[in-house]
A and B are shown apart, each in its own frame.
Chain A
Amino acid sequence: MEKTMNLTLKVWRQKNAATDGQFVEYPLKDVSEDSSFLEMLDILNEELVEQGKEPVAFDHDCREGICGTCSMTINGTAHGPQRATTACQLHMRHFHDGQTITIEPWRAKPFPVMKDLIVDRTPFDRIMQAGGFITGRAGSAVEANAMPIPKGTADYAMDAAACIGCGACVAACPNASAMLFTAAKVAHMNSLPQGKPEKDRRALAMVTTMDGEGFGGCTNIGECEAVCPKEISLDMIAQLNRDYAAAQVKSFFKAV
């Protein structure tokens, strides 16, 4: 039969970007251990609505770990204690009766808080707009099997492309660096033959935009890899550093 638990939640409440926020404590009863973490927040919110109070605003959508919308730091860890798991796929059976759970938004200067647990992650979109694509119009593609791609290369590109763009890497990094995100995107496209013609341009443009958005530098701490729900590897960052250095050298001699 269903087991339930009683919890104390310490949730970050902030009206909007212009005002200061603070933690507010809420007791919560009868949470099923089979509920997901976000379902637990649904229960809290329904209770708040019943009391005529504003519910906790948080970003969420697919609730199956793929859209990358949910974004909250749970007891100090981005997406919470389960490895390789987004907050929406985290289940309450990993918590215990009587526990206090602290919930706060991503903390990073380039991701300003919009309300409660919601932050603005549009800098990621702008990094993509700078070079996270392969130029080519619909209709101009050659036959799909015209260019064989070794299985290993395709698998590596897929490992990189698995990134869901949630921003946990930035939230976990003491420097608020977006290197893991940017590196994953660059590695995905630079490793494929279709992405090679724009390899140098891509690395330079995306890194420049990333820096311009105010993300910090990477100092190889590795917190990003530890919290990444899709287990994107730090090796991607090493690859980006190589691609970037090579592109910079080349750019001294010719336009890339």
Chain B
Amino acid sequence: MNLDAKIPEGPIAEKWSKHKVKMKLVNPANRRKYHIIVVGSGLAGGAAAASLAEQGYNVSCFCYQDSPRRAHSIAAQGGINAAKNYQNDGDSVYRLFYDTVKGGDYRAREANVYRLAEVSNNIIDQCVASGVPFAREYGGQLANRSFGGAQVARTFYARGQTGQQLLLGAYSSLSRQIGLGKVTMYNRHEMLDVVKVDGHAKGIIVRNMATGEVSRHAGDCVVLATGGYGNVFFLSTNAQGCNVTAAYRAYKRGAGFANPCYTQIHPTCIPVHGEQQSKLTLMSESLRNDGRVWVPKSAETAQKIREGKLSGNDVPEDERDYFLERKYPSFGNLAPRDISSRAAKEACDEGRGIAATGLGVFLDFRDAIKRDGRKAIEERYGNLFDMYECITGDNPYQVPMMIFPAVHYTMGGLWVDYNLESTIPGMFVGGEANFSDHGANRLGASALMQGLADGYFVLPYTVGNYLGEQGVAAAGQITTEHPAFAEVEADVKARIDKLLSINGTESPRSFHKRLGQIIWEKCGMARSKAGLQEAIQEVQALRKEFWENVRVVGDADGINPELEKAGRVADFMEFGELMCRDALMREESCGGHFRVEHQTEEGEAKRDDENFSFVGVWEYLGDDAEPGLHRESLIYENVKLATRSYK
């Protein structure tokens, strides 16, 4: 596997501009001869499809939702970062770059991150021009707020619905291109495999989720923007349909999968209510500005709270353990996501969790309300308090909120070079689906930035470069009549038939839940060698059981959510094993990856830069063979490696 990152020569600030000058271009009149396949219609996919179509290429865009407007980018709340320095507080492209590399615990590729920071300003311009109603000051200028991991206010936002507004911006541009006939949109279509011709990605096989029809689509290249794999945990903040299938199918056809063990656990989610839970809801981390996180000092008190015999309010001050303030006096309740999450887990492991399930800690606004008054708190967090009450039935003005960490984002993804091209030539990967920008931990408000950077400002250049290199004579030469399509289509159909024919006794959802439990327990917030080894065996056994005993009711013709779920769970099974292998291989702790063997005396993450300053890239070598590990060394020329400290 060739892991040449193709990082351009020269000083970091000049790499992208120099690279753009050197790229091959496609004459505007020739662009209409090319056909590009884009899978996914979120920020990265939607923006890429719209921008490529604007340039004159013909685009087919696919999404599993009933409309491209519903991609899961829509659920992002907080905001989008950019180095505009509108606040005059010392921000710059370099500082955004530096914060992102540091926040990622020095496991991201410098050149990509710098480019991300560089185009961040264009994103805000583009969004405003396309009608995104960002929050504004009374003078009419754009407003900013601050977010974790940064000392400047560089986050742009649209109430608590920034993701929605950015996505609607990209969707409106996409809609225009659909109306003009430059983009053909395929709603309710799920990509089930990639087709390679002479080693290059030249098409995909999809299933129409409304009719059940399996069809072939050929193109001159393929862009995957299919999101993250957080649903491998069953419970996460992801939408129900989010899945790893497209990325995993690409992996099985030869795309390297990078750093699958890097997952982000967000500390402020609403705790699980019980067995019937289907998803977790995030509460903005801004709540930790005023809320104090605590559990009772004694496990007996916690037990009484769990049983409903005692309320949080009844616990006297000296029996409370404000554990973040105790452990991290300088950052207190605003310690970064990975650190806060682990501290909450430890408290619960000690039997001091307070939700009925034992998995929860208090986030208490009593002192803030006493200090600033209820009105002030209502102004700051009113909508979040309402949302909390809507879901839990508790009024957080009167009783402390309960929170618990939940899987939120996945930093790992398909390996890509500087051009966002995977190890399969002609297959590009954007947004959360690739691995490139966030290292081992993502900072708040950076996911939206990356999705739009890839979609609006990177892929439109690098895809053109690839097509230019292929030459205009090659445009549109591969059609679905090529034998490679028939072969892959037959594989896809055989797999669907297999799933439907097992006729066992257990539902796909039940298998998914069991898989999630293993991954959460053993490859979640804290991981150990023994646990991961067990997890690999358990997942293998579960996968075997799945293929012998899954029950998929209904048939392949028409809408069949059970069949869709079964296919996705099958891929999550294999992927979950890969995740555990990656976590096992990485004998260090960094960012969201915490190995209990590798911690300081105080229980903090301990990186091993000497041996693990690399991207771990996995190559598929067969269903029952162990995957092969390849390494891309990470070289830091502009940022000095240091230990993160929040004491």
Q: Which residues of A contact B (CB under 8 A)?
A: 1-2, 15-16, 31-36, 38-40, 42-43, 46, 48-50, 52-55, 57, 59-64, 66-69, 82, 85, 89, 91, 93, 114-115, 118, 120-122, 124-125, 128-130, 132-145, 147-151, 154-155, 157-158, 161-162, 164-165, 188-189, 192, 194-195
Contacts and interface: CB of A to CB of B under 8 A. Distances in A.
A49 B175 CA distance: 38
Given A1-B308, A43-B276, A69-B66, A62 B125 contact: no
B70 A144 contact: no
A60 B126 CA distance: 31
Nearest to A90: B390
Interface in B159-181: 159, 161, 163-165, 168, 171-173, 175-176, 178-179
Contacts, number: 230
Contact of A46 (B210, B274, B509): B509
23 contacts: A2-B274, A46-B507, A49-B507, A55-B561, A62-B70, A62-B240, A63-B239, A66-B163, A67-B239, A125-B68, A125-B185, A128-B171, A128-B172, A129-B178, A133-B131, A134-B131, A135-B176, A141-B122, A144-B128, A147-B128, A161-B133, A189-B172, A194-B130
B139 A148 contact: yes
B90 interface: no
Contact of A50 (B54, B456, B507): B507
B460 interface: yes
Contact of A158 (B74, B158, B393): B158
Contact of B279 (A48, A63, A125): A63
Contacts of B128: 141, 144, 147, 194
Nearest to A230: B161
Nearest to B273: A34
Contacts of A60: 240
Nearest to B510: A46
Given A57-B559, A115-B559, A194-B131, A121 B273 contact: no
A64 B281 contact: yes
Contacts of B72: 61-62, 67
B383 to A, nearest CB: 11
B131 A188 contact: yes
Given A54-B553, A62-B70, A141-B128, 6 more contacts: A15-B558, A63-B281, A91-B393, A138-B460, A154-B133, A192-B133
A81 to B, nearest CB: 13
A137 B51 CA distance: 7
B25 interface: no
Contact of A57 (B165, B277, B391, B561): B561
A144 B142 contact: yes
B391 A89 contact: yes
A133 B175 contact: yes
A129 B510 CA distance: 40
Contact of A69 (B65, B133, B178, B561): B65
A121 B456 contact: no
A15 B558 CA distance: 9
Nearest to B554: A54
A51 to B, nearest CB: 9
B278 interface: yes
B50 A149 contact: no
A34 B274 contact: yes
Given A54-B553, A93-B393, A137 B54 contact: yes
B318 interface: no
Contacts of B241: 61
B470 interface: no
B122 to A, nearest CB: 7
B28 interface: no
Nearest to A116: B559
A141 B173 contact: no
A162 B75 contact: no
User: Which residue, B140, B185, B210, has most C-beta atoms of chain A within 10 A?
Assistant: B140
Interface string B234-256: 00010111000000000000000
A154 B423 CA distance: 44
B172 A157 contact: no
B520 interface: no
Interface of B: 47, 50-51, 54, 65-70, 72, 74-75, 84, 86, 122, 124-131, 133-142, 158-159, 161, 163-165, 168, 171-173, 175-176, 178-179, 185, 187, 210, 237, 239-241, 273-274, 276-279, 281-282, 307-308, 356, 390-393, 456-457, 460, 507, 509-510, 551, 553-554, 558-559, 561-562
A57 B212 CA distance: 14
B130 A136 contact: yes
B179 A129 contact: yes
A18 B561 CA distance: 19
Contacts of B133: 154-155, 157-158, 161, 188, 192
B396 to A, nearest CB: 16
A69 B70 contact: yes
Nearest to A192: B131
B65 A61 contact: yes
Contacts of A32: 273-274, 276
Nearest to A135: B176
Nearest to A156: B133
A164 B86 CA distance: 31
A142 B125 contact: yes
B454 to A, nearest CB: 12
Given A53-B553, A154-B135, A67 B126 contact: no
Nearest to A163: B168
User: Which residue, A57, A135, A145, A188, has most C-beta atoms of chain B within 10 A?
Assistant: A145
Contacts of A194: 128-131
A118 B391 contact: no
A151 B75 contact: no
A145 B70 CA distance: 29
A255 B165 CA distance: 31
B278 A55 contact: no
B67 A91 contact: no
A77 B435 CA distance: 44
A139 B507 contact: no
Contacts of B276: 31-32, 34-35, 39-40, 42-43
Given A2-B273, A138-B50, A67 B70 contact: yes
5 smallest beta-carbon distances between A and B, as pairs: A148-B140, A129-B179, A141-B129, A133-B172, A34-B273
Given A50-B507, A138-B126, A149-B136, A63 B175 contact: no
B187 A42 contact: no
Given A34-B274, A34-B392, A125 B67 contact: yes
B161 A162 contact: yes
Contacts of B74: 62, 66-67
Contacts of B173: 133, 138
A178 to B, nearest CB: 14
Given A35-B276, A63-B240, A128-B175, A68 B69 contact: yes
Given A32-B274, A125-B175, A133-B176, A138 B456 contact: yes
A144 B278 CA distance: 40
B390 A91 contact: yes
A133 B279 CA distance: 33
A141 B169 CA distance: 13
A236 B538 CA distance: 56
B75 A59 contact: no
Contacts of A149: 136, 140
A40 B133 CA distance: 36
A85 B390 contact: yes
Contacts of A42: 276, 278, 509
B135 A52 contact: no
Nearest to B165: A161
B408 to A, nearest CB: 12
A133 B353 CA distance: 49
A129 B392 CA distance: 39
B393 A34 contact: yes
Nearest to A15: B558
Contacts of A115: 558-559
Nearest to B140: A148
